[in-house]
A and B are shown apart, each in its own frame.
Chain A
Amino acid sequence: MEDNKVVLLDWWASAFAMRVKIALAEKGIKYESKEQNLFNKSQELLEANPIHKKIPVLIHDGKSICESLVILQYIDEVWHDKSPLLPSDPYRRSQARFWADYIDKKLYSTGRRVWTGKGEDQEVAKKELIELLKTMEGELGDKHFFGGDTIGFLDVTLVPFTSWFYTYETWGNFSIEAECPKLIEWAKRCLEKESVANSLPHPHKIYEYSFELKKKLGIE
């Protein structure tokens, strides 16, 4: 299948954009990455995602696809002959979707409350974050990856957030590894894959940036 022009509207620290980069790499799809300025949004971004004005946006043959999990499923369906992300069995697909939805409902907002929060709010958020990561650990069980022997939809959905763990831990003054060792081992296994290693920035870079991000967001 010929790869017609694929463009990704990107932002280096976005876990949601990292998901798409991993998927594109897994499938061996060539694409152009266009780094966006989220504090001064480009005309291209506003036209590609007029409703949410957010990244990531995948533009394939001039058509925009928004929402990272929608993009993942689109990539899986169009480039279906290589490295499938979702399993073929409908029940297993429903479970992968369920846990991806769980992550989307909780992880970003809870993580944000941890690294930007203070006092009691931050303590509550830390507790919630550990609880949800422990739940994911339980779901992983003894498997190598959430997808089984190879990384799948759920691995791609969750692993980008691990690049933010150092930021959560340092601002929150706690250790995720101490509470969820198996999840950290899983993250390390994922990072052995080139597609993941090349898509996730070094956690320290994100932490360094978080100071600037706090200023930009008007948080003390």
Chain B
Amino acid sequence: MAEVKLHGHWTSPFSYRVIWALKLKGIPYEYIEEDLSNKSPLLLHYNPVHKKIPVLVHGGKPICESMIILEYLEETWPQNSLLPTDPFQRAVARFWIKFAEEKGPTVWMMFRSSGEEHEKFKKESLEMLKTIEEMALGDDKKFFGGDEISLVDIAFGAHAHWLGVIEEVAGVKLLEAHKFPRFHAWIQNFKQVPVINENLPDRDQMVLTFKRIRESLLASP
């Protein structure tokens, strides 16, 4: 069995998506923490196009982009399946994964900005969260795909942990419990999955780090 390595970063939700999938499938791997302020030649060699983490390396061959890595894991290690078998249900799952990829960054953009721009991204973030609440989550489903955790839950995982940190550091409340009851229920369900519960970055450390990031962003011209 060829070895699996994950190049990641402890603050990155994209990195954690891969960790969660690897652990849910019981795939042994070696983790390499990358210094993003001083990117290693190896990282640049594995991901010349985007120069980003996470990168999964399997038997020496790199795969980039977290959700593409997850589809690769799903196809190579089919046990503990994270996608439905029915083609239409798979299409629904992929639709929401694409939504998460396209719209998820607005929260980060809100975090990075101030003034009018910040307000614009805040509005967009709320719209995104509302769409998820009303269209993706159901009252009778534990997770996005039903009773079991799937790639869609993993794709939205950032909102279960990183969003709270961003809200605290930026002083913005987006996900109010009374306005987003389904979302709040899903966050509880998601974080109670042992693999998720045991694999989240330390919140206090994240708050400190994100505070530093926000200060330096708002200080620069």
Contacts and interface: CB of A to CB of B under 8 A. Distances in A.
A95 B61 CA distance: 11
Contact of B71 (A60, A63, A97, A102): A97
Contacts of B180: none
B72 A91 contact: yes
Q: How large is the interface on B (under 10, 10 to 19, 20 to 34, 35 or more residues)?
A: 20 to 34
Q: Which 10 pairs between the two chains have the least Cβ-Cβ distance?
A: A90-B75, A77-B87, A94-B72, A74-B91, A70-B94, A65-B91, A94-B63, A90-B76, A97-B68, A78-B87
A60 B135 CA distance: 20
Interface string B198-216: 0000000000000000000
Q: Looking at chain A's contact residues, is the secondary structure mostly helix, strand, loop, or mixed? A: helix
B135 A50 contact: yes
Interface of A: 50-51, 60, 63, 65-67, 69-71, 73-74, 77-78, 90-91, 93-95, 97-98, 101-102, 135
B131 interface: yes
B49 interface: yes
A71 B91 contact: yes
Q: Which of A65, A97, A98, A102 has most chain B Cβ within 10 Å?
A: A98
A100 to B, nearest CB: 9
Given A50-B135, A63-B88, A74-B90, A93 B98 contact: no
A33 to B, nearest CB: 20
B34 interface: no
7 contacts: A65-B91, A67-B98, A73-B90, A90-B75, A91-B72, A93-B71, A101-B68
Contact of A73 (B64, B94, B131): B94
Contacts of A65: 88, 91, 95
B68 A102 contact: no
Interface of B: 49, 58, 61, 63-65, 68-69, 71-72, 75-76, 87-88, 90-91, 94-95, 98-99, 131, 135
Nearest to A88: B75
Given A63-B88, A67-B94, A94 B68 contact: yes
A50 B91 CA distance: 16
A67 B63 contact: no
A98 B65 contact: yes
A102 B88 CA distance: 25
A51 B135 contact: yes
B75 A93 contact: yes
B99 A98 contact: no
Contacts of A101: 65, 68
Given A94-B69, A101-B68, A67 B75 contact: no
A14 to B, nearest CB: 17
